[in-house]
């Protein structure tokens, strides 16, 4: 059986005629162009600067199968993973559950609190019934890397969320993506979020995985924030250690708009996530927060890029990493301030805590400034727990394990405190306590205050 680029070319040839919207000209062209780009690029290697510390050769050597099947079919309608149920206390306005990119319609629906001008539905259905609505956001242009091209080439399903002009969607929309299967299953879901002018919404994107076989989750999220609109996007990655995750987020923010992004990674064998934001209007704002955990032999790689294209834009990035065992982390953050983006305000920080002598982090914050009237800063730190702080807590009667656990949790909680959904914070706190042996000394979590 062929592997690498040739395998995906054959998979595409066998599947493309049955994909949603295959008879629509622009959809077929977009898929073909993406496949050509992917085959021309091939898989990235450590010789590529953006992949210098992340080797995907083991992934390239596997022949992942793409077989989404019909939405709502036997696989799509199967019982979801226990952890895929709604986050406790989230009270989502709508929930869509996907298994290997296929909508599980029997486990999806709305709670009756979705405003009339808000659409939450399957992207596969949109490609069949209303392709013109999504054409401006999915046709033309090139992907940022081979995996975003691969996603577009195999575009088969995912979620479509649209918030009408001036609409405030108070309850969050929850999108759950499960990667399941026994051996070499691939999914390429796409999430499209459109927030029109003066609207507001919160999106929770939750990725999970289970099963004995190696799996590939290759999602892509496209967010368009209109003028003076506000979108909060929460990304939670909790796949098992047999899952490779190669996701990308691409967002544009219009004048006066605001995008908040909170990305938390707690699982996965290898995780590579790219977040690319373009501030396309005067006074646009983006706030990026992230927390990643690498333990055992996990490898986690976060790449961010923020483009300040117009005057008066504001961007803030705060990413923190916890690395234990032989875990390895990579952070590459880039801020680009274009010539016309005067009065931009950009800050970027990446802080990492090594909990084991065998843990490793490669961090590379970057600023490229072509305007002369700006306020920009960036920085990175790598270190271990402060033994003086440990000694201080022990002198106040705490045991050494509890003291170290409190300091470790306090390091992470700085990011969690920025998340606006208490139910999500509590879920992540419990996940952290279960993921890191260093947190074993913590007392039981309190439902309101974390500890």
State whether 413 and 271 are in the same domain: no
Residue 445 has what pLDDT?
A: 55
What is the value of pTM for the model shown?
A: 0.93
State whether 273 and 131 are in the same domain: yes
Q: Which residues, 6+ apart, have CB-to-CB distance to 188 below 8 Å?
A: 66, 101, 150, 151, 154, 155, 156, 218, 219, 220
Among 281, 303, 326, identify where a domain stops: 281
**Residue 388, in any domain of the structure:** no
**Residue 354, in any domain of the structure:** no
**Residue 117, in any domain of the structure:** yes
Residue 112 has what pLDDT?
A: 66
Among 249, 281, 313, identify where a domain stops: 281
Give the bridge partners for 192, in sequence order.
160, 222
**Residue 364, in any domain of the structure:** no
Residue 71 has what pLDDT?
A: 58
State whether 206 and 69 are in the same domain: yes
**Residue 23, in any domain of the structure:** yes
Structural domain boundaries enclosing 227: 4-281
Residue 2 has what pLDDT?
A: 65
State whether 410 and 261 are in the same domain: no
State whether 259 and 406 are in the same domain: no
User: How do beta strands 243-253 and 270-279 pair?
Assistant: parallel
3-state secondary structure the chain: CCCHHHHHHHHHHHHHHHCCCCCCHHHHHHHHHHHHHHHHHCCCCCCCHHHCCCCCHHHHCCCCECCCCCCCCCCCCCCCCHHHCCCCCCCCCEEEEEECCEECHHHCEECCCCCCCEEEEEHHHHHHHCHHHHHHHHCCCCCCCHHHHHHHHCCCCEEEEEECCCCECCCCEEEEEEEECCCCEEECCEEEEEECCCCEEEEEEEEEEECCCCEEECCEEEEEECCCCEEEEEEEEECCCCEEEEEEEEEEECCCCEEEEEEEECCCCEEEEEEEEEECCCCCEEEEEEEEEECCCCEEEEEEEEEECCCCCEEEEEEEEEECCCCEEEEEEEEEECCCCCCCEEEEEEEEEECCCCCEEEEEEEEEECCCCCEEEEEEEEECCCHHHHHHHHHCCCCHHHHHHHHHHHHHHHHHCCCCCHHHHHHHHHHHHHHCHHHCCCCCCCCCCCC
Among 255, 281, 307, identify where a domain stops: 281
**Residue 86, in any domain of the structure:** yes
Residue 448 has what pLDDT?
A: 42
Distance CA(292)–CA(302), nearest Å, equals: 9
State whether 12 and 156 are in the same domain: yes
**Residue 330, in any domain of the structure:** no
Residue 140 has what pLDDT?
A: 73
Tokens of 376: 């920009």
Tokens of 255: 């004048």
Instruction: Write out the chain's pLDDT in tens, 451 residues.
Output: 567 899 999 999 999 899 999 999 999 999 999 999 999 999 999 999 999 999 999 989 998 988 776 654 434 555 666 554 567 888 888 999 998 888 988 778 876 678 889 999 999 999 999 999 999 999 876 678 999 999 999 998 899 999 999 999 989 999 999 988 767 889 999 999 999 999 999 999 999 987 778 899 999 999 999 999 999 999 999 998 889 999 999 999 999 999 999 999 999 999 999 999 999 999 999 999 999 999 999 999 999 999 999 999 999 999 999 999 999 999 999 999 999 999 999 999 999 999 999 999 999 999 999 999 999 999 999 999 999 999 999 999 888 888 888 899 999 988 999 998 999 999 998 888 888 877 876 766 554 444 5
Residue 116 has what pLDDT?
A: 85
State whether 13 and 148 are in the same domain: yes
pLDDT in tens, 418-447: 998 999 999 998 888 888 877 876 766 554
* Domain count within the chain: 2
Residue 200 has what pLDDT?
A: 97
**Residue 370, in any domain of the structure:** no
Distance CA(348)–CA(76), nearest Å, equals: 41
Residue 78 has what pLDDT?
A: 57
């Amino acid at each position: 059986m062929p592997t690498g680029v040739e395998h995906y070319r054959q998979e595409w040839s066998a599947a493309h005629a049955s994909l949603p919207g295959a008879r629509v000209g622009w959809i077929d062209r977009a898929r073909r162009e993406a496949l050509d780009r992917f085959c021309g690029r091939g898989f990235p290697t450590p010789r590529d600067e953006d992949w210098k510390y992340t080797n995907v050769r083991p992934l390239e050597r596997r022949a992942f199968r793409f077989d989404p099947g019909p939405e709502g079919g036997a696989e799509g309608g199967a019982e979801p993973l226990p952890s895929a149920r709604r986050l406790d206390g989230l009270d989502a306005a709508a929930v869509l559950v996907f298994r290997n990119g296929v909508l599980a319609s029997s486990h999806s629906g709305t709670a009756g609190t979705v405003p009339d001008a808000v659409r939450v539905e399957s992207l596969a259905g949109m490609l069949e019934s209303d392709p013109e609505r999504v054409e401006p956001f999915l046709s033309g242009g090139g992907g940022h890397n081979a995996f975003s091209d691969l996603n577009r080439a195999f575009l088969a399903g995912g979620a479509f969320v649209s918030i009408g002009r001036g609409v405030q969607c108070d309850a969050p929309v929850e999108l759950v993506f499960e990667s399941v299967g026994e051996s070499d299953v691939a999914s390429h879901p796409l999430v499209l979020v459109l927030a029109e002018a003066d609207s507001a919404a919160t999106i929770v994107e939750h990725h999970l995985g289970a099963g004995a076989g190696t799996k590939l989750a290759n999602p892509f999220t496209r967010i368009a924030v209109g003028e003076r609109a506000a979108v909060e996007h929460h990304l939670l990655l909790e796949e098992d250690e047999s899952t490779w995750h190669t996701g990308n987020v691409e967002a544009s923010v219009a004048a006066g708009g605001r995008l908040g992004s909170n990305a938390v990674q707690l699982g996965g064998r290898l995780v590579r996530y790219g977040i690319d934001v373009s501030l396309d209007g005067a006074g646009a704002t983006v706030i990026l927060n992230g927390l990643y955990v690498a333990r055992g032999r996990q490898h986690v790689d976060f790449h961010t890029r923020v483009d300040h294209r117009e005057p008066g834009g504001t961007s803030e990035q705060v990413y923190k990493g916890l690395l234990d065992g032989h875990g390895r982390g990579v952070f590459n953050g880039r801020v680009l301030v274009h010539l016309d983006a005067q009065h931009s305000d950009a800050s970027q920080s990446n802080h990492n805590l090594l909990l084991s002598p065998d843990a490793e982090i490669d961090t590379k914050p970057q600023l490229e400034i072509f305007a002369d009237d700006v306020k920009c800063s960036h920085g990175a730190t790598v270190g271990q727990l402060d033994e003086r702080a440990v000694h201080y807590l022990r002198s106040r009667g705490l045991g050494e394990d509890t003291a170290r656990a409190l300091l470790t949790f306090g390091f992470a909680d700085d990011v969690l405190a920025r998340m606006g959904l208490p139910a999500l914070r509590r879920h992540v706190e419990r996940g952290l306590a279960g993921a890191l042996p260093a947190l074993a000394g913590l007392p039981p979590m309190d439902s309101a205050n974390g500890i």
